[in-house]
Structure formats: structure tokens, C-alpha cells
Amino acid sequence: MALKHKPTAPYHSVQDALRVLDTVSRHTTGITGTQLARESGLGRERLTTLLPMLCREAYVEQGADGAYVAGEAFARLCSAQEQEHEEALHDKLQRTLDRLRDSVGAAVYMSRYVDGEVKVTQYADGPATPKVNEWVDFRDAAHATALGKSLLSQLDHNGRREHLDRHRTVRLTSRTVTSDRLLLSQLAAHPPTVPVLDLQEYAIGTVCAAVPITAGSSVGCLALSLPVEHAHRLRHAADALNRNAAPVLLSMAI
């Protein structure tokens, strides 16, 4: 299966963040902001954006003297054995998803395309932000869900075609696209930096949005869902999700 990855803004933020972490980790006794800017090559202005995020995510810590050292989350992900690493990654991603849920005011999902199937690996919901009722298995509804279409959009044409050959584009609501040709055309034309939307295509009463997150050869996305009465917030929430995707990508890349 060939992929059609195109770098997005969160991807570029992660590349810069990894440079910061690599630089900080080489200075076990700490590194000043000025020295960090010089050695990483990113400059103080870029670090002004990155360092608060890295500190918030516990990848970097700032001591009383102002110097930066590697944080607890970074050390845990880097030093763990395989099983411990997976547990640490799961816990770190869950905390990030919980924070995203609260910041965008919607249920948030992380999904991967694994062995040719759509898989929701983690999600964060709550009493005020209920997750969507999975009345049709997401594996059979990629054509109708924002997260499914985001994953398919990251495959090449043959990968999409092969998926649709295995999963028919059945009508789930009156808004569902059931034409393979139309769906493939929409996926091919969709810019990678623009969130994919589901406007009651999967379930009446629910709207969703998804943004891609790709690390290495894996295909993934972040998605959110809202009751239709909050549809006016969907694009703003989707843009916020996209802007805040970097911590998720960073966790996957370490």
C-alpha cells in the first residue's frame, strides 16, 4: 500500500520540537534559552512558541535558574522497554486527548489505518462531550465518517480503491455519499491541510471533523464529534484540533 503523505503545519512543528529535544537531552545539567536557540538553529522567536508546549507536555522542564532540562514524559518514553513504552505512550496520548477534549469542547478520537482497516485506538469524551454512538462499525463506514475519509485521503488511489472494494459505500443517512467515483474524486481533491468534515453522513444528529496525523509510515488522524445543534462550532473546533495536533504527533515520533 502506497501512502500519499504531505507535510502539514503540525508535522513541521514536530520536526522543530524534535530538534529542541535532541539539543536539550545532550545537556544533562541544563541549557539556557540563548544557548538552545544557537545550538538548535531555530532562533528565539520559534522557541517562544515551542517551549511552552514542550513544558506543558512534560517533555522539557525549566529549573529555578531558567535553564531547560529533559522532562519526565520525555525520559519515560525514551528509557522504557517495549511494553513499558507502549503503556507510557498510551497514557501520554490519553492525557493529551483529554486536554484537547476540554480545549475544543468536543469528544476527541485518535484513529489509525491498521492492516487495511479503520481503527479508533483511543478517545476522550465526557458528560458534556459525549462520543458518537457507533451504530455501524467504523471499519465499515470509512466512506461516511470524517475520520475514515481522513485516513483514506492519506492513501494513494489504488489503496483507496482496494479499501472500497472490500467495504461497500452503503447509505447510512440521506447525506451519505454512495458513489465510489464521487467519493474518490472528493478524496483526491481534498487539501491535506484542510480538515475533513462529516455533516450527518454517518449519523443524523452528529457532525464530525478530522485532521491527519502521520508519523513515519503510519496513517492516522485526530477527529472530533459534536451534536448537530453545535454545528456552528465545527469549523472553529476543527481548526483548533489541527493547531493542537503537534503534541500527539510528537508522542508518536519519540
Q: Is 62 a member of any domain?
A: yes
Helix (H, G, I), strand (E, B) or coil at 185: helix
Q: Is 232 a member of any domain?
A: yes
Confidence of residue 10 (pLDDT cuts 50, 70, 90): low
Closest CA to 242 of 194, 208, 206, 207: 194
One domain, residues 72 and 86: no
The domain of 210 spans 81-248
Q: What's the pLDDT score for residue 89?
A: 86
The 10s digit of each residue's pLDDT in 37-47 is 999 999 888 89
Q: What's the pLDDT score for residue 15?
A: 83
Q: Summarize the confidence of residues 26-32 as an average pLDDT.
A: 92
Final residue before a domain boundary, out of 45, 62, 78: 78
One domain, residues 145 and 53: no
Q: Is 3 a member of any domain?
A: no
The 10s digit of each residue's pLDDT in 185-241 is 999 999 877 899 999 999 999 999 999 987 666 789 999 999 999 999 999 999 999
One domain, residues 32 and 132: no
Is the pLDDT score of 162 beyond 50?
A: yes
Helix (H, G, I), strand (E, B) or coil at 133: coil
Confidence of residue 246 (pLDDT cuts 50, 70, 90): confident
Final residue before a domain boundary, out of 78, 106, 138: 78
Helix (H, G, I), strand (E, B) or coil at 112: strand
Q: Is 1 a member of any domain?
A: no
Q: Summarize the confidence of residues 80-97 as an average pLDDT.
A: 84
Q: What's the pLDDT score for residue 216?
A: 61
Q: What's the pLDDT score for residue 80?
A: 64
Mean pLDDT of the chain: 89
One domain, residues 203 and 180: yes
How far apart are the C-alpha atoms of 87 and 76, rounded to whole Å?
A: 10
Angle between helix 33-40 and helix 9-25 axes, rounded to 10 deg: 120
How far apart are the C-alpha atoms of 5 and 211, rounded to whole Å?
A: 13
Contact indicator for 20, 60 with CB cutoff of 8 Å: yes
Q: Is 127 a member of any domain?
A: yes
Residue type, 97: L
Q: Is 172 a member of any domain?
A: yes
Is the pLDDT score of 7 beyond 80?
A: no
Is the pLDDT score of 138 beyond 50?
A: yes
One domain, residues 103 and 217: yes
Confidence of residue 180 (pLDDT cuts 50, 70, 90): very high
One domain, residues 142 and 195: yes
Is the pLDDT score of 11 beyond 90?
A: no
Final residue before a domain boundary, out of 46, 78, 110: 78
Total count of domains within the chain: 2
The 10s digit of each residue's pLDDT in 12-22 is 678 888 899 99
How far apart are the C-alpha atoms of 19 and 238, rounded to whole Å?
A: 27
CB proximity list for 136: less than 8 A, separation 6 or greater: 144, 172, 202
How far apart are the C-alpha atoms of 127 and 143, rounded to whole Å?
A: 28
Q: What's the pLDDT score for residue 52?
A: 92
One domain, residues 114 and 23: no
- DSSP state for residue 106 in the 8-state scheme: S
* Residue bearing the bigger pLDDT, 159 or 89: 159
Q: What's the pLDDT score for residue 2?
A: 46
One domain, residues 147 and 46: no
Contact indicator for 223, 125 with CB cutoff of 8 Å: no
Closest CA to 245 of 133, 103, 149, 113: 103
Backbone torsions φ then ψ of 18, nearest 5 degrees: -65, -35
Q: Is 254 a member of any domain?
A: no
pTM of the predicted model as reported, rounded to 2 decimal places? 0.80
DSSP readout, 193-242?
TSPEEEESSSSTTEEEEEEEEEETTEEEEEEEEEEGGGGGGHHHHHHHHH
One domain, residues 38 and 136: no
One domain, residues 144 and 61: no
